[in-house]
């Protein structure tokens, strides 16, 4: 029988694990048990599927981007429209799952970290839906550049806690959420937004997000009668990419590309490409690739896309990189902004700046591929939140 990962302590090869403070360990073990029970509980899965369908609006379309395809003169491009989910990104797939689990575990308070604010909004949304008290930790810099999402969280009744430490972005928000959790662990459920953190989060978030890849598989089979040749998704922590890739992990002839943010360029220190520009280390409960200095101090990440602005990456991505299952590539701020404008004008779809990294890589690949080849891009979120950032670049 094929071994499934992670192993019982949450390791994917040398990556992953549970590098957490003792105060949190009992809660992590309790969560692991509760998740294992929910995973095998038909009623839980049925209810989860019901909320995904009736509340989030799944299945999301797999859309053939005709004008984009024609103007690139190459492979056929399909967009997996996660931007059409309720709240505007794939994040709701995971927060619905975790909120249902919190309810099963009798926890009435939830906390979350957020970068772009998409996970914060998705968490505030499910907290409202299930009547839970909600605190969102967000870096001050991100509060500034993602203001519309801050308002949405407040409208939904969440408290947004500004985080001033470090570069006041996603890493610092996660530090602060973990610190708060150490003090509130008895009655509070921490909804981590990506496939990172201590075990069981990477596995649990992967499972909740895998609906993206499962739907894609059915949809492309119906439309094209075969698997895509190439799949592309952006990678910060990596939850939309993991959700897209995981159901295809054992398929032959599907080349998968995870796109990291190269920021101002890989020859500068201003990027967020943990796999392409980092080394193995331990942060936020797991062993993975990290941006760090020679002394093991974590470096500040940078990307124009707040949701990619994180110095680590989910441990299963680290494992997929080590085993060459997925190829990890990079796209700069400039290329992402160009792709943002391109998709908006060609298809009338404004992508999140995070997703625009994946679109940009498709724009590089498609012209080099034959017209009968197929690319699927995970369009993980919508770009309304990025209007201010785009105006500041002068791209308009």
The answer to whether residue 6 forms part of the interface with another protein (CB under 8 A) is: no
The answer to whether residue 272 forms part of the interface with another protein (CB under 8 A) is: no
Binding residue for another protein, selected from 13, 166, 327, 393, defined by CB under 8 A = 166
Question: C-beta of 268: minimal distance to another protein in Å?
Answer: 20
The answer to whether residue 9 forms part of the interface with another protein (CB under 8 A) is: yes
91 is catalytic: yes
Q: What is the CA radius of gyration of the chain?
A: 19
The answer to whether residue 322 forms part of the interface with another protein (CB under 8 A) is: no
Question: C-beta of 295: minimal distance to another protein in Å?
Answer: 5
15-19 β-sheet, strand order: 11-12, 15-19, 285-290, 279-283
Beta bridge partners of 139: 163
- Tokens found for residue 63: 């859309």
Return the HEC string of the chain: CCCCCCCCCCEECCEEEEECCCCCHHHHHHHHHHHHHHHHCHHHHHHHHHHHHHCCCCCCCEEECHHHHHHHCCCEEEEEEHHHCHHHECHHHHHHHHHHHHHHCCCCEEEEEECCCHHHHHHHHHHHHHCCEEEEEEEHHHHHHCHHHHHHHHHCCCEEEEECCCCCCHHHHHHHHHHHHHHHCCCEEECCCCCCCCCCHHHHHHHHHCHHHHHHHHHHHHHHCCCCCEEEEECCCCHHHHHHHHHHCCCCCCEEEEEEEEECCCCCCCCCCHHHHCEEEEECEEEEEECECCCCCECCCCCCCHHHCCCCCCHHHHHHHHCCCCEEEEEEHHHHHHHHHHHHHHHCCCECHHHHHHHHHHHHHHHHCCCCCEEEEEECEECHHHHHHHHHHCCC
The answer to whether residue 187 forms part of the interface with another protein (CB under 8 A) is: no
Question: C-beta of 358: minimal distance to another protein in Å?
Answer: 28
The answer to whether residue 106 forms part of the interface with another protein (CB under 8 A) is: no
Q: How far is CA 119 from CA 101, 124, 125, 187, 249, in A?
A: 17, 8, 10, 21, 25
The answer to whether residue 323 forms part of the interface with another protein (CB under 8 A) is: no
For 58, other C-beta atoms within 10 Å of its C-beta total: 20
Among candidate residues 239, 303, 355, 380, the one labeled active-site is 380
- Comparing CB distances to another protein, the nearer of 27 and 101 is 27
The answer to whether residue 268 forms part of the interface with another protein (CB under 8 A) is: no
The answer to whether residue 294 forms part of the interface with another protein (CB under 8 A) is: yes
**Segment interacting with another protein, rule: CB under 8 A, options 53-61, 233-241, 293-301, 360-368:** 293-301
Size of residue set near another protein by CB under 8 A: 36
Question: C-beta of 40: minimal distance to another protein in Å?
Answer: 23
Question: C-beta of 314: minimal distance to another protein in Å?
Answer: 17
Binding residue for another protein, selected from 183, 225, 348, 394, defined by CB under 8 A = 183
Among candidate residues 113, 141, 260, 316, the one labeled active-site is 113
Residue with structure tokens 């990596």? 238
Cβ pair 273, 357 in contact under 8 A = no
**Segment interacting with another protein, rule: CB under 8 A, options 84-92, 112-120, 175-183, 209-217:** 175-183
Binding residue for another protein, selected from 58, 171, 317, 321, defined by CB under 8 A = 171
Question: C-beta of 145: minimal distance to another protein in Å?
Answer: 22
The answer to whether residue 298 forms part of the interface with another protein (CB under 8 A) is: yes
The answer to whether residue 283 forms part of the interface with another protein (CB under 8 A) is: yes
The answer to whether residue 178 forms part of the interface with another protein (CB under 8 A) is: yes
The answer to whether residue 350 forms part of the interface with another protein (CB under 8 A) is: no
- Comparing CB distances to another protein, the nearer of 28 and 134 is 28
The answer to whether residue 352 forms part of the interface with another protein (CB under 8 A) is: no
d(CA 312, CA 229): 28
133 is catalytic: no
The answer to whether residue 115 forms part of the interface with another protein (CB under 8 A) is: no
The answer to whether residue 93 forms part of the interface with another protein (CB under 8 A) is: no
- What is the footprint of another protein within residues 11-50 (CB under 8 A)? 17-27
184 is catalytic: no
- Comparing CB distances to another protein, the nearer of 182 and 223 is 182
Catalytically active residues are 91, 113, 380
Where does this chain bind another protein (CB under 8 A)? Answer: 9, 17-27, 165-166, 171, 175, 178-179, 182-183, 185-186, 279-285, 290, 292, 294-298
């Amino acid at each position: 029988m094929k071994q499934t990962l992670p192993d019982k302590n949450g390791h994917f090869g040398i990556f992953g694990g549970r590098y957490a403070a003792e105060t949190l360990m009992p809660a992590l073990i309790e969560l692991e048990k509760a998740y294992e029970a929910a995973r095998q509980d038909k009623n839980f899965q049925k209810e989860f599927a019901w909320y995904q369908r009736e509340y989030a609006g799944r299945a999301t379309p797999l859309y053939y981007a005709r004008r984009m395809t024609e103007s690139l003169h190459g492979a056929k491009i399909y967009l997996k429209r996660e931007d059409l989910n309720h709240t505007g990104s794939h994040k709701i797939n995971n927060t619905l799952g975790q909120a249902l689990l919190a309810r099963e575990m009798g926890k009435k308070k939830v906390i979350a970290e957020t970068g772009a604010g998409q996970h914060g909004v998705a968490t505030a949304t499910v907290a409202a839906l299930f009547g839970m008290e909600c605190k969102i930790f967000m870096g001050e810099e991100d509060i500034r550049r993602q203001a519309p999402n801050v308002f949405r969280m407040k409208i939904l009744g969440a408290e947004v806690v500004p985080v001033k430490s470090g570069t006041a972005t996603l890493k610092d928000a996660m530090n602060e959420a973990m610190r708060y959790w150490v003090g509130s662990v008895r009655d509070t459920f921490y909804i981590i937004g990506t496939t990172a953190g201590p075990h069981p989060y990477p596995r649990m978030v992967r499972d909740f997000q895998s609906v993206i890849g499962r739907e894609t598989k059915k949809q492309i089979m119906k439309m094209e009668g075969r698997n895509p040749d190439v799949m592309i998704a952006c990678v910060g922590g990596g939850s939309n990419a993991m959700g897209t890739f995981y159901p295809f992990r054992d398929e032959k002839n599907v080349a998968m590309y995870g796109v990291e943010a190269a920021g101002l360029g890989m020859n500068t220190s201003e990027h967020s490409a943990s796999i392409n520009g980092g080394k193995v280390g331990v942060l936020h409960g797991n062993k993975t690739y990290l941006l760090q200095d020679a002394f093991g101090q974590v470096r500040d990440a940078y990307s124009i896309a707040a949701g990619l602005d994180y110095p680590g990456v989910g441990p299963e991505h680290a494992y997929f990189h080590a085993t060459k299952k997925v190829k990890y590539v990079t796209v700069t701020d400039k290329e992402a902004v160009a792709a943002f404008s391109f998709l908006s004008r060609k298809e009338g779809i404004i992508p999140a700046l995070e997703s625009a990294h994946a679109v940009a890589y498709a724009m590089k690949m498609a012209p080099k591929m034959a017209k009968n080849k197929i690319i699927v891009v995970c369009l993980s979120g919508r770009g309304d939140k990025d209007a201010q950032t785009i105006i500041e670049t002068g791209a308009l």
